[in-house]
Amino acid sequence: MALVVQKYGGSSVADAEGIRRVAKRIVATRKAGDQVVVVVSAMGDTTDELIDLANEVSPSPPPRELDMLLTAGERISMAVLAMAIATLGREARSFTGSQAGLITDERHGWARIVNVTPGRITGALDAGAIPIVAGFQGVSHATKNITTLGRGGSDTTAVALAAALRADVCEIYTDVDGVFTEDPRVVKRARRMPRISYEEMLEMAANGSKVLMPRCVEYARRYDVPIHVRSSFSDKPGTWVDMHVPDETEEAGMEQAIISGIAHDKSQAKVTVVGVPDEVGEAARLFGLIAEAGINIDMIVQNVSAISTGRTDISFTLPGADGQKALGVLRDAQEKVGFEEVRYDDRIGKVSLIGAGMRSHPGVTAKYFDALAKAGVNIQMISTSEIRISVVVSQDDVDAAVNVTHKEFGLEADEVEAVVYGGTGR
Amino acid sequence: MALVVQKYGGSSVADAEGIRRVAKRIVATRKAGDQVVVVVSAMGDTTDELIDLANEVSPSPPPRELDMLLTAGERISMAVLAMAIATLGREARSFTGSQAGLITDERHGWARIVNVTPGRITGALDAGAIPIVAGFQGVSHATKNITTLGRGGSDTTAVALAAALRADVCEIYTDVDGVFTEDPRVVKRARRMPRISYEEMLEMAANGSKVLMPRCVEYARRYDVPIHVRSSFSDKPGTWVDMHVPDETEEAGMEQAIISGIAHDKSQAKVTVVGVPDEVGEAARLFGLIAEAGINIDMIVQNVSAISTGRTDISFTLPGADGQKALGVLRDAQEKVGFEEVRYDDRIGKVSLIGAGMRSHPGVTAKYFDALAKAGVNIQMISTSEIRISVVVSQDDVDAAVNVTHKEFGLEADEVEAVVYGGTGR
């Protein structure tokens, strides 16, 4: 008898019909002989509606109260899901994050899990009941206040519970059939990946793939929790995300696909600081200021300085939402640091080629740039890791770049595979 | 510096505008120098909407899960209210029933408070913050499950907290200016009572007045918590409900109003069991069966038995909602008990005259029946206590009976006093 943690996103439980469908799936798993622990997100757009309500009374709601408010969302979905399971003749018991033992630090809105003490969950399992746990939420060990985990929090809840309960698998249900070589909304003949390593999934997630959040994949990798990403709307197999175990063919350099998939991200912006004095510590000073403002920087490129002027240009990318904040920080520092000007471009996109296979295959970069050139796409910035090559291009070029690359690296399926079942997101 | 517990009902916080208005009132109290603890109900129709959602997936939701679901309502209102207070420059901290120490037994849907341990509330007060507590909810000491207190539960939460905190007053905010001599929707020139004893308020509440629930008044009487019922839409004084301290004029029989007010109730039904064998224990047997079914009976009348037959008729009133259940119980028992038939009438109404003054004034009953006769109202059943006379009449006669009696006992205000500010209920 396996222990399965199943996580259902908001689009899977968007309405009473969705909740009934999910309840049937849970009971079917139970009847097949496995133990099930369920993690559920808020129904459909509930969280957004609650945020709208908060904004009606406050331009900047206190984070503690915003967390208290938002956690009402999963409270509703989990209780209704438990009711739907009861009508199918199985006992289900809903638990808040706090009741389920999701202990966090006190950072409201982006709390980190510091401990998981799922005593009430194992108790419910022992009693033959199906525990339904509210995703996305926890309780601070220091203040006893209710916290939320931030974006993708429900996936992290599921993986954390799976780790603490030593579950055999953490199934993440969404509205597509798994992780594809690219977003099927952009590349029609994207192919479902039957299996991908934590490492590659992390690169996919960090570079724009929205199926899983990097944080949840990191957690799964640390505790070696196998994830199975699949659709709650079908019975098809999805994508397994787990440890990379090289097999014989791979050792021999045969069969292993060079590239696993492509990810793209249109939400970033590019900042160029022009005419920075090329002295030791100037770049560190700039990025220190940006970091102090709580802004995460992604790619950085520094030009060779012009000998005539002793000055250089530094470009970096960051989330577009942080753009204005970063510009403010830089302008405040202009006089002190002594650079000439700041340029800002939010019409950019990042396209990343990801695959553990590229480690042992030289020439991937050349082939990639060749494909982009064929598509007439100009490269603005480049950044690489051992298993990833990312380029920044004009936002208008992203779709073309993605489609050409997908084809050139032989990622296309023989026919259209992907179906997007639910609404727009999870 | 006084400590004030303020309770705001659903109609007072029905939308963002209402929440902002309530926030202003709370901050004004705080600025006037008093400590404030707030208890809040769910916004407007939230609770009904959540019940509808539950019924969409289940004809009879498990009580534990229904409580988990419904408690989302106050979670939303209290967090948003705390945010609204923050925008006015005061720190507010919201607390669930469980966090506020509202410990109950495990009866889901109608839990009783068994202990109040408001450590986090006093902590928040000590820190200079305004605690906002979710009404209507608690946590079971035995199972650690979330419970709800049932109808009128938020008022009970407020009184229980006021008792535990030794507050100076518990202000119950509603959409009328206080407790009136009759429902202003039925009697236009109903008069606001500036003060009423717990005892009289209990009789008013138990006999159809909807401003406070009997349970909350009982709790206040037991712990001697003064209640001030008033409107959140105006600054007018409301009605004080507190201990009855006879003053000198009253001792001398002067000035004291004989009658405080009138209550009516159209929600009851009358059952008549015809031809019950007039033997010892038969009535007890009948009512034993009704009690076993969990049905509360109000008035009971037994006729003198006819000597010729040795049989008698027994009539009783009960909540109309329990009518069919009671009929089922009786029909099942017909053969065993041996009565002739059961008659059912749900077109009845109860009109109750309430006043501590009637204790020392003979002739109140005669005057009351006289008034009813004048209005052409036929009396079906009568029941009395030391400070109340209730009659059951045809439902069509209730409004006339109430208006005539109100006038005859001199309860009318000189002009129309009452304003109903909000929607239809609390």
Query: pLDDT exceeding 90 applies to what percent of chain B?
Result: 73
Predicted confidence (pLDDT) at residue A140 exceeds the cutoff of 70: yes
B159 token code pair: 């009184």
Return contacts of A362-371, CB within 8 angstroms, 24+ apart: A364/A258, A364/A259, A364/A389, A365/A389, A367/A408, A367/A409, A368/A405, A368/A408, A370/A408, A371/A404, A371/A405, A371/A408, A371/A409
pLDDT value, residue B244: 74
Q: Which residues of A touch B120 (CB under 8 A)?
A: 144
- Residue B178 above 90 pLDDT? yes
- Where on the phi/psi map is residue A314: left (φ > 0), alpha (ψ -120 to 50), or beta? beta
Sheet holding A348-354, edge to edge: A261-265, A348-354, A388-394, A381-385
Q: How many CB atoms lie within 10 A of CB B339?
A: 21
Q: What is the pTM of this model?
A: 0.87
pLDDT category of residue A420 using cuts at 50, 70 and 90 = low
Residue carrying structure tokens 């090289």:
A246
| B89-108 residues touching A, CB cutoff 8 A | 91-94, 99
Q: What is the mean pLDDT of residues B53-63?
A: 96
pLDDT the model gives residue B404 = 94
Looking at residue B246, what is its pLDDT?
A: 58
Mean pLDDT taken over chain B: 91
- Does residue B16 carry a pLDDT above 70? yes
Phi, psi torsion values for A281, nearest 5 degrees: 95, -10
Mean pLDDT confidence for A173-202:
92
For A74, the closest chain B residue by CA position comes to B72
Is B147 within 8 Å of chain A by CB?
no
Count of all residues that appear for chain B in the document: 426
Q: Check if the beta carbon of residue A181 is closer than 8 Å to that of residue A155.
A: no
**ipTM of model:** 0.85
Q: Supply the pLDDT for residue A255.
A: 47
pLDDT over 90 at B312, yes or no: no
Residue B280 has pLDDT above 80, yes or no: no
The confidence score (pLDDT) of residue A424 equals 39
B-chain CB neighbours of A62 within 8 Å are: 82-83, 86, 91
What's the Cα-to-Cα distance from A6 to each of A36, A134, A197, rounded to whole Å? 7, 12, 20
Mean pLDDT confidence for B60-76 = 97
What tokens appear for B347 in the block?
């077109």
A79 touches chain B (CB under 8 A): yes
Q: For residues A281 and B129, which has the higher predicted lDDT (pLDDT)?
A: B129
Q: How confident is the model at residue B254 (pLDDT cuts 50, 70, 90)?
A: very low
Report the gap between the CA of B66 and the closest CA in chain A (Å).
7
Q: Which residues of chain A are within 8 Å of residue B133 when distances are taken between CB atoms? A: none
Predicted confidence (pLDDT) at residue B191 exceeds the cutoff of 70 = yes
Q: What integer pLDDT is reported at residue A199 of this predicted model? A: 94
pLDDT surpassing 60 at residue B14: yes
Average pLDDT, chain A: 91
Q: Confirm if B346 and B320 have CB atoms less than 8 A apart.
A: yes
**What pLDDT is recorded for position B142?**
94
Q: Are strands A239-242 and A195-197 parallel, antiparallel or unpaired?
A: parallel
Q: Which residues are paired to A6 by β-bridges?
A: A38, A171
Contacting B residues, span 8-37, partner chain A, CB-CB under 8 Å: 16, 19-20, 23
Give me the pLDDT at residue B426, please: 37
User: What is the average per-residue pLDDT within A129-147?
Assistant: 97
- Asked if A75's CB is within 8 angstroms of B68's CB, the reply is yes
Arithmetic mean of pLDDT, B91-118: 97
The pair phi, psi for residue A29, each rounded to 5°, is: -60, -45
Q: How confident is the model at residue B245 (pLDDT cuts 50, 70, 90)?
A: low
Answer for the pair A227, A238: CB distance below 8 angstroms, yes or no: no
Chain A contact set for B93 (CB, 8 A): 64-65
The average pLDDT across A181-186 equals 91
Question: d(Cα A381, Cα B94) in Å, to the nearest integer?
Answer: 48
Q: What are the beta bridge partners of residue A392? A: A350, A381
Chain B residues whose CB is inside 8 A of the A78 CB are 68
- Tokens 């970091």 belong to A291
pLDDT at A418 over 90: no
